[in-house]
Amino acid sequence: MKFRGILLVGAALASGAAAACNRTFLVDATDKYVAAQAEGKPATLTAITADNLNYTESDKTVDITTGVLAQPMKIDHNRSIHDTTLCATFTELIVTDPAKPYVIATRMVFTNDKASLIETIATKPGDWAFNATGYLHWNSLENWDPIPADKRDTRAVIQAAGDAYFNRFDNASYAVPFGTPCARLEGGAYTDPRGAGGNTCSLGLPSTIVVTNRRYVVDEEMGAVSIFLGFPGLDRSVPQEPMPDSHLFRVEGGKIRYIHTVSAKALERSPVVRFWMGTTPVYLFGGPKHYQAIFASRDLTYNGIMLQIGFPKLWRMTREEIQRFANDKSGHKETPLPGTEHVPPQQRYWATKYHVLYDFLSRKHHIKPIVDEFARQFSRDVVEKFPLGQWTTLSIDELTRRDFTRCAITTLFGPKILELNPDFLDAFWYFDSYASVLVYGFPRWMYPQPFRASDRFLDRIEKYVEAGLKDFDWNGPDVDAQWEPHFGTRITRELTKWLTDAGFQRKSVAGALGTLVFGQNSNTIPVVSWMLMELNKDPQLLSAVRAEVADAFVTDPLTGARTLDTQKVAALPLLQSLFTEILRLRVSMVIMRVADRPMTINGVDVPRGALVHAYSRIAQTDEATWGSPEHPADQFWPERHIKYVEERDPETGTLRKRREFAMAASPACFFPFGGGVPMCPGRHFAKNEIFTMVAILVDRFEMEFVRWTNPDGSPSDRPAESDQRFSGIGSLPPTVT
């Protein structure tokens, strides 16, 4: 087996010498800092740093040779401001590299031509509202040109504008000189996403927060003030404790035009964080107590997310179609909610959606035949391709994204979808690469690519739907079949029939089916890739799994044919532990709900219409929850969820140890499939599908790791990493960029 890895990218080294504390000296210093960060070589700053330099990250002193500054990165944007009075600088860096995106704020203070303090806040996926691509995009729309000499404000005016903003935080009547337009950029969220041009900086400001320890950099030429400070209140578990925070203000004619914030660690430390997406408040909850409350709540709905994101962006419904769902208040259950009994069955859209997705994807008697069909197709079309008794070098990436995906799609949707569209897999993976931007990103007029990728993908599904509606005998014996060759499984047929009969446009029918293709493959394929990688890297693990899996095969005494018992394999403890560990580390989902009415979650007031988020990565990598002294939470450890039980062999009477699967922490802190009523309907099928692939492969083949490679097949000296572009929307595939 052969793997894909990633290429290490470097950048040019800066050179030059320091001079006195004037603008030229400070500009040279920030240039050197940016170059040192690009190269990941802090040593190149030695000429401008004092012997007793204090280097901090998020307010903690860190060894400069092992911190963020020692990581090379391709910097997409940098902006610095220079304060010749305080002899200090501020730099904003944006790195959109999907493998390791960052937004970094750095303040340097110089004494006698040498930096005595470099303080950095480096935000990355997991920090609240983090989105480096968004940060870059909104930044690029702003004008930060130097202010003409005759229009410059004094440093006192510029600093006062920034100070007024924070003074307002504990005094709602404090006058802040907001300009028009004025926009705030937090993480990747922008307060004026539609470019409406008003003062959106004043939206949603706190009124009881006293910020601490303000540290300034003021640049009159750029009309800018950077304020580093302590921001208490973000972390409600320690409400008095200030969090590291940076705000950069652009001030023109005494008025604030832009505000850029960088706040690190808030998510990881905070059980509850509130922020704003446009004008909507978002409450991000952390901790098992909160997760349980969110998943149990009836007032927090997933339907609101479908109306805002799922239907328009993925199902690609028209407004009128979305409105039909919005008008239906009768609930998802078979019996309408009290007071809605008059709603005709054909207008009970939520209930039908729930019934079609959940019955046909989750019920055992429906999924067992699908999984058996998958195992049959996988053995026939994938495994038989490789001759026994000889070595073949394969790319796991190729194998999973081509052969496995083809088999998974053919099982769920039938062979027609690929016969009619020979380039279907390309269209799907191309769409997949844009899915996060489509879901969270900008409107079509601003960023058309994701919509084009979606159009290309859905056009192919439409063709398949059209052919099915024409050729399939809707009154014939196959109408209730568990599998038939046009639509494949019942879920695909039922979804098509329901939406077509209800008069939804073809594109929406295709959108619903496309979301199913996406839910199925975008999540399972990366998981199976990671499982195979781990098995190939560790021969001991591979042979332990192989031994365990052997028990799940049944050999026909007459023909000698081996078939997999798909139910038995799903209960194997080591395989379950390996699967759970991959889901824990490689699935990054923001679970989203909308508050249907004003409510309180464990004492936190949440207004009607607010968004409630829970971030699986935070829950699933929490050290206190999952870590052990030998195996920290961020480390892959295939036996993390195994318990050894001693038992006596009934035949020999000797004591032996048996493995049992036992989740290493409370299931409340593990939600790769979401939770509550809208929990992923495909979760059982996903597990069965993944276990089937792994079991058949390890049973049939010897495997050996060959090397990591770059996308072009050339060798790489680095292993694959999680592709952070998918952060927040599902399984993180290995990066190939």
Residue list for the binding site for heme: 680
Write out the DSSP string of 706-733. --EE-TTS-B-SS---B-GGGTBEEE-P
Of the candidate spans 2-10, 278-286, 519-527, 629-637, the one that interacts with ligand HEM by CB under 6 A turns out to be 519-527
Cα(406)–Cα(620) distance, rounded to whole angstroms?
A: 31
Retrieve residue 420's tokens.
Answer: 């009619």
Which residues carry a binding-site annotation?
A: 680
Q: Does 579 bind ligand HEM (CB under 6 A)?
A: no
* Helix residue ranges per DSSP H, 230-297: 266-269, 288-296
Cα(408)–Cα(417) distance, rounded to whole angstroms?
A: 12
Q: Which residue, among 367, 364, 379, 368, has the nearest Cα to 695 in the 3D structure?
A: 379
Q: Does 587 bind ligand HEM (CB under 6 A)?
A: yes
* Contact code string over 270-299 relative to ligand HEM, x by CB under 6 A: ------------------------------
Cα(360)–Cα(354) distance, rounded to whole angstroms?
A: 10
Q: Does 686 bind ligand HEM (CB under 6 A)?
A: yes
Q: Does 488 bind ligand HEM (CB under 6 A)?
A: no
Retrieve residue 86's tokens.
Answer: 């305080």
Retrieve residue 443's tokens.
Answer: 């409107």
CB distance 435 to 729 below 8 Å: yes
Q: Which residue, among 309, 304, 322, 314, has the nearest Cα to 504 in the 3D structure?
A: 322
- In the three-class reduction of DSSP (H, G, I as helix; E, B as strand; rest coil), residue 154 is classed as coil
- In the three-class reduction of DSSP (H, G, I as helix; E, B as strand; rest coil), residue 277 is classed as strand
Nearer to ligand HEM, 183 or 356 (CB): 356
Nearer to ligand HEM, 179 or 519 (CB): 519
Q: Shortest distance, CB of residue 708 to ligand HEM, whole angstroms?
A: 24
Cα(131)–Cα(727) distance, rounded to whole angstroms?
A: 9
CA dihedral (713, 714, 718, 724) positive or negative: negative
Retrieve residue 613's tokens.
Answer: 């988020």
Nearer to ligand HEM, 185 or 693 (CB): 693
Which residue type sits at 172?
A
Q: Does 301 bind ligand HEM (CB under 6 A)?
A: no
Nearer to ligand HEM, 524 or 536 (CB): 524
* Contact code string over 384-413 relative to ligand HEM, x by CB under 6 A: ----------------------------x-
Q: Does 728 bind ligand HEM (CB under 6 A)?
A: no
Of the candidate spans 195-203, 278-286, 549-557, 669-677, the one that interacts with ligand HEM by CB under 6 A turns out to be 669-677
Q: Does 733 bind ligand HEM (CB under 6 A)?
A: no
Q: Does 527 bind ligand HEM (CB under 6 A)?
A: yes
Q: Does 674 bind ligand HEM (CB under 6 A)?
A: yes
Question: Token match 């095969």: residue?
Answer: 553
Selected binder of ligand HEM within 450, 681, 728, 734 (CB under 6 A)? 681
Q: Shortest distance, CB of residue 323 to ligand HEM, whole angstroms?
A: 18
Retrieve residue 367's tokens.
Answer: 């999924």
Q: Does 675 bind ligand HEM (CB under 6 A)?
A: yes
Q: Does 524 bind ligand HEM (CB under 6 A)?
A: yes
Retrieve residue 508's tokens.
Answer: 């929406």
Cα(55)–Cα(117) distance, rounded to whole angstroms?
A: 6
Selected binder of ligand HEM within 187, 682, 733, 734 (CB under 6 A)? 682
Nearer to ligand HEM, 183 or 367 (CB): 367
Retrieve residue 589's tokens.
Answer: 């989902």
Selected binder of ligand HEM within 297, 523, 576, 709 (CB under 6 A)? 523
Selected binder of ligand HEM within 126, 519, 573, 734 (CB under 6 A)? 519
Cα(701)–Cα(461) distance, rounded to whole angstroms?
A: 35
Selected binder of ligand HEM within 223, 678, 728, 733 (CB under 6 A)? 678
Retrieve residue 145's tokens.
Answer: 């040109």
Nearer to ligand HEM, 410 or 524 (CB): 524
Residues 64-83 that bind ligand HEM (CB under 6 A): none
* Contact code string over 176-205 relative to ligand HEM, x by CB under 6 A: ------------------------------
CB distance 311 to 325 below 8 Å: yes
Residues in the interface with ligand HEM (CB under 6 A) total 26
Nearer to ligand HEM, 400 or 523 (CB): 523
Q: Cβ neighbours of residue 639 under 8 Å, at least 6 residues apart?
A: 574, 577
Q: Does 367 bind ligand HEM (CB under 6 A)?
A: no
CB distance 438 to 514 below 8 Å: no
Cα(183)–Cα(189) distance, rounded to whole angstroms?
A: 10
The Cβ-side half-sphere exposure at 730, using a 13 Å CA radius, reads 20
Q: Does 516 bind ligand HEM (CB under 6 A)?
A: yes
Nearer to ligand HEM, 242 or 519 (CB): 519
* Contact code string over 313-352 relative to ligand HEM, x by CB under 6 A: ----------------------------------------
CB distance 621 to 584 below 8 Å: yes
* Residues making contact with ligand HEM (CB under 6 A): 302, 357, 361, 412, 516, 519-520, 523-524, 527, 587, 589, 591, 672-675, 678-682, 685-686, 730-731
